[in-house]
Amino acid sequence: MKIPPVKGTRDFYPPQMALRNFILGGWKVASLRNGFEEYDGPIFEHLQMYRIKSGDEIVEQLFSLTDRGGRELAIRPEITPTLARMVNQQINSLPRPIKWFSLPRLCRAERPQKGRLREFFQWNIDIIGIDDVLADAEVIFTTLDYLRSVALTEKDIKAKISSRKLLAELLKNIGIEAERLDILYPVLDKKAKIPAEAFSATLKEKVGDAKIAETILKLMEVDSPEHIGDIVKLNGGVQAALDEVRKLFDLLNTMGVADYCTFDMSIVRGLAYYTGIVFEVHDITGDLRALCGGGRYDNLLKDFGGPSIPATGMGMGDCVLEILLRNKGLLKDDLPTQKTEYFVACLDEKYNRDAIEITAKIRLAGRAAGLGYKAAALGKQLKQASALGAAKCVIIGQEFAAGCIVLKDMRTGEQRNIKKDQFLSSLQGWE
Amino acid sequence: MKIPPVKGTRDFYPPQMALRNFILGGWKVASLRNGFEEYDGPIFEHLQMYRIKSGDEIVEQLFSLTDRGGRELAIRPEITPTLARMVNQQINSLPRPIKWFSLPRLCRAERPQKGRLREFFQWNIDIIGIDDVLADAEVIFTTLDYLRSVALTEKDIKAKISSRKLLAELLKNIGIEAERLDILYPVLDKKAKIPAEAFSATLKEKVGDAKIAETILKLMEVDSPEHIGDIVKLNGGVQAALDEVRKLFDLLNTMGVADYCTFDMSIVRGLAYYTGIVFEVHDITGDLRALCGGGRYDNLLKDFGGPSIPATGMGMGDCVLEILLRNKGLLKDDLPTQKTEYFVACLDEKYNRDAIEITAKIRLAGRAAGLGYKAAALGKQLKQASALGAAKCVIIGQEFAAGCIVLKDMRTGEQRNIKKDQFLSSLQGWE
């Protein structure tokens, strides 16, 4: 019986797995370098958890299941609710600031398309307990530090930065009621994703006032904090939010990543829980979806039954990143899938048993070893050793009658005879 | 709103995550050392896939879900069916032998108990395409190579080895019909797991003949291949299966792990798909469930719609292993959760901005750095640096007026003044 994989999922054969390890490994190294600690939660949570704050789009795309006890569960579509739950559970014993990262596998029942799959990996970094734009700057810096480490330059990508706080103040300033803001955010977030006319029409409909909608459209186009005053009058709330944005850009400049950063009022983020600085990183051509997104979410822990604690974070999926790196020629498709130090080549059947013994002893000494399984001609086995990327080849041939092996350096081609026992005890010494 | 985690799952806070990384990292290193390549599949598959060969117990414990398209899916309870599917899909292009490993997250709706959770990680290694007991020996060797690497000795654990082929020949030999074997295996597998009397009663009932059941009971007690002849007559089929077992033990001896290995006819394995050598590793006291289990499954790829290809493998969960390592004092509960090389301590508020700049530059040079966020007294910050395990502390104090930082070696306590620019360019040099 032949069964296909589930639509929208990926099989990671060794070459694809090496690529996944390259991406997730880079995320991990960048996280640790920036002082984040790793955490993880279960693959499923109570379904109810995602109804609190995840936003309608995510709730519609849940893979839900009912267990034997009749509990409604869902495979995690994002890890932030789990983070909020975990932090709240131990809020009194966790030293602050909490700087955590995670590399969760997530599932969303989306229509599979370019850069979007039903199962993917996402890098998450979060700083909890710092009520200062310095934490937002550190999140953006860490994101860019990773992207820079895989050779993406400021000519390839831009971090587009805005502020929900600033947007809220501006919208209130021009006459939008505070309780209608949560309805407007997902609409504004669609700006770059749908045709300009459709966006404009939807905006007018939702706002209900053509003139206000027009002003909002103008605000969305603003690319410098200094130009906002050209469109609306700056009251105290707007001024305070603007000062925060200016401080953020100043910090990013101090950190040496200003070239990667730009102010962009059209960055809103779809999720309901953002409260301050928000950002997305995009490829400069704009051909792809956002590489990542994040921002400040100061109310989330409270919404999950905990105390009021400031928080800010970022999430980056592996799918769009992989497409961009491939487009830019920054992905090696022949990443090594094995790590062989020694290849043991047996030239004569009568020494098969010895080849097995030597291979086992190399491995027990903590070194990686490959074995040809069957005695074969030297040329064929050296080819095999090369294919495995072995640094050295242990050749068991006629010299073995005198207790010797031939040790060949695969890089230089140099080879020398050495007593088997001497070779094995040299390995023990390295352990 | 406060929502609890799902019963039978684990939250991995940084200390628990460090432990999980220690276990999974060890599995990975042992796999690579023994020449296995990493692969992975999706977290869910078509439900039907697990009905083919996984055995009733696993099918009953599936977490199943229905997607929007009405497809019946299940979270993977084991990865072997995925492996069979993936290998069959590319059977003509994969070079053989296929030596693959995986570290999948698996879910089973079991009653949570000691060493059994609803979500766990499992190390899997498989060798596909070698019809020789050498591959079984290599799987057992790799398993023991890992267990040895975490300091478990032959006084802590034993690999108990038997053969399904041998058992089948013996059962046929004493009058059990071939088509009834698949019903008997799960019964025999229960021997060590239920009281002796209950086992004996169930066996008699299933066999239907008290005398034959008695003989089976005696066979189950056999602890050396050489003692089987004392109980039943050795025909050709039994002899061939015995020769294979003897060859396996001879290979394990050659490989240097014979001390860890013992013959035990009571090892049957519950899963339906085993066809040859089977084994489990147990702690010597017998207090815990099996640490791992595996064996040969030559028909599985064919059962999944592929060609007939020999295969053998092993699976080891993380839960029992963690309990055993903890019992033996082989787990460090204070594994590092961070990897900080430099801690940047700012003693004067007016240099906060400089501290941020220096921290960012250390990180952009590829080195791990931590920052105290707020200026504070030196003693407090050195404490923080120690807590993070930092190797060096960059102190920004009064010397900074002259453009200097103090670099303190946290291990030796030595400290020296150095120009900030000189320090930063030395980092660039190391990159």
pLDDT of residue B430: 45
Residue B258 contacts A, CB cutoff 8 Å: no
Rounded Cα distance, B265 and B225, in Å: 9
- Chain A residue with CA closest to B254: the answer is A357
Nearest to A14 among B37, B89, B145 (CB): B37
Q: Is B390 helix (H, G, I), strand (E, B) or coil?
A: coil
- Which pLDDT value is given to residue A59? 81
Interface check B45 vs A, CB under 8 A: yes
B393 vs B382: CA distance, rounded Å? 8
Closest-CA distance of chain A to residue B34, Å: 6
Q: Which residue has the higher pLDDT, B27 or B186?
A: B27
Across the interface, whether the CB atoms of B69 and A44 are under 8 A apart is answered no
Chain B residues whose CB is inside 8 A of the A430 CB are none
Listed by number, the residues of chain B in 23-42 with a beta carbon closer than 8 Å to a beta carbon of chain A are 32-35, 37-42
- What does the pLDDT average to over B332-349? 92
- Among A3, A340, A386, pick the best mutation site for testing chain B contact (most B Cβ within 10 A): A3
> Where does the pLDDT of residue B429 fall: very low under 50, low under 70, confident under 90, or very high at 90 and above?
low
Residues of A in contact with B44 (CB under 8 A): 6, 9, 63, 75, 107, 119
Contact A32, B339 (CB under 8 A): yes
B360 inside 8 A of chain A by CB: yes
CB contact under 8 A, B254 and A90: no
Q: In percent, how much of chain B has pLDDT > 90?
A: 82
CB atoms within 10 A of CB A377: 10
Distance of CA B354 to the CA centre of its chain: 46
What is the structure's pLDDT at B320? 97
Does the distance separating the beta carbons of B367 and A5 come in below 8 Å?
no
User: What pLDDT sits at residue B55?
Assistant: 67
B-chain CB neighbours of A141 within 8 Å are 360, 363
- Nearest chain B alpha carbon to A303: B1
Return the pLDDT at B325.
Answer: 97
* Contact with chain A for residue B361, Cβ under 8 A: yes
| B246 at A interface, C-beta within 8 A | no
Using CA coordinates, name the residue in chain A closest to B390: A35
Name the closest residue on chain A to residue B81, using Cα atoms: A3
Q: What is the pLDDT of residues B364-400, one digit of tens each?
A: 999 999 998 888 999 999 999 998 899 999 999 999 9
C-beta atoms of B356 and A251 within 8 A: yes
Please report residues of B whose CB lies closer than 8 A to that of A105. Answer: 43, 105
Cross-chain residue pair B14–A38, CB shorter than 8 Å? yes
Which of B7, B43, B337 comes nearest A119 by C-beta?
B43
Would you call B214 an interface residue with chain A, using a CB distance cutoff of 8 Å? Answer: no
Contacts of B4 in chain A (CB under 8 A): 46
Contacts of residue B97 in chain A, CB cutoff 8 Å?
A: 373
Q: Do B17 and A1 touch (CB under 8 A)?
A: no
Residues B352 and B346 sit within 8 Å (Cβ to Cβ): yes
A41-55, B16-30, B65-79: range with highest mean pLDDT: B16-30
pLDDT digits (tens, 9 = 90+) for B268-323: 997 778 999 999 999 999 999 999 999 999 999 999 999 999 999 999 999 999 99
Q: Which of B19, B103, B373 to mutate to test the interface with A (most CBs of A within 10 A)?
A: B373
Interchain CB distance below 8 Å, A6 and B45: yes
Q: What is the mean pLDDT of residues B87-95?
A: 94
Residues of chain A predicted below pLDDT 50: 430-431
- Are B46 and A21 in contact (CB < 8 Å)? no
> Cβ separation of B38 and A49 shorter than 8 Å?
no
Q: Whole-angstrom Cα distance, residue B39 to residue B315?
A: 14
B42·A6 Cβ contact <8 A: yes
Q: How many CB atoms lie within 10 A of CB B111?
A: 10
A230 in contact with chain B, both atoms CB, cutoff 8 A: no
The reported pLDDT for the residue numbered A366 is 93
Whether B14 contacts chain A with CB within 8 A: yes
Question: Which chain B residues are Cβ-neighbours of A14 within 8 angstroms?
Answer: 37-39, 100
Q: Does residue A127 belong to the interface with chain B, where contact is any CB pair within 8 Å?
A: no
- Which residues does chain B have within 8 Å of residue A33's beta carbon, measured at their own beta carbons? 339, 363, 366-369
Interface test with B, best of A7, A44, A358 (most B CBs within 10 A): A44
pLDDT mean over B70-83: 94
Q: Cβ of A100 and B14 within 8 Å?
A: yes
B85/A368 touch (CB, cutoff 8 Å), yes or no: no
Buried b (16+ CB within 10 A) or exposed e, A186-218: bbbbebbeeeeeebbebbbeebeeeebbebbbe
Q: What is the pLDDT of residue A55?
A: 67
Which residue in A6, A14, A257 is closest to B38 by CB distance? A14
Residues 62-91 of B with CB under 8 A from A: 63-65, 67-69, 71, 73, 75, 82, 85-86, 88-90
Is B23's pLDDT higher than 80? yes
Residue of B nearest to A360 (CA): B255
Put simply, whether B20 touches A (Cβ < 8 Å) is yes
Residue A302, number of CB atoms within 10 A of its CB: 13
B97 interface with A at CB cutoff 8 Å: yes
CA distance A186 to chain B (A): 24
Q: Check residue A374 and give its pLDDT.
A: 85
Q: Which domains does chain A have, with CATH numbers?
A: 14-327 (3.30.930.10), 342-430 (3.40.50.800)
- A254:B69 CB<8 A: no
Nearest-angstrom CA–CA distance, A147 and A282: 11
pLDDT bin (cut points 50, 70, 90) of residue B213 is very high
Using DSSP's 3-state secondary structure scheme, residue B338 falls into coil
Q: Which of residues 300-329 of A touch B (CB under 8 A)?
A: 303-306
**Residues B1, A304: C-beta atoms closer than 8 Å:** yes
Position B106 pLDDT exceeds 70 = yes
pLDDT at B431 over 70: no
Written in H, E and C, the secondary structure of chain A is CCCCCCCCCCCECHHHHHHHHHHHHHHHHHHHHCCCEECECCCEEECCHHHHHCCHHHHHCCEEEECCCCCEEEECCCCHHHHHHHHHHCCCCCCCCEEEEECCEEECCCCCECCECCEEEEEEEEEECCCCHHHHHHHHHHHHHHHHHCCCCCCCEEEEEEEHHHHHHHHHHCCCCHHHHHHHHHHHHCCCCCCHHHHHHHHHHHHCCHHHHHHHHHHHCCCCHHHHHHCCCCCHHHHHHHHHHHHHHHHHHHCCCHHHEEECCCCCCCCCCCCCEEEEEEECCCCCCCCEEEEECCCHHHHCCCCCCCEEEEEEEHHHHHHHHHHCCCCCCCCCCCCCCEEEEECCHHHHHHHHHHHHHHHHCCCCEEECCCCCCHHHHHHHHHHCCCCEEEEECHHHHHCEEEEEECCCCCEEEEEHHHHHHHHHHHC
What average pLDDT is seen over chain B? 93
Tell me how close the Cα of B321 comes to any Cα of chain A, in angstroms.
Answer: 19
pTM: 0.95
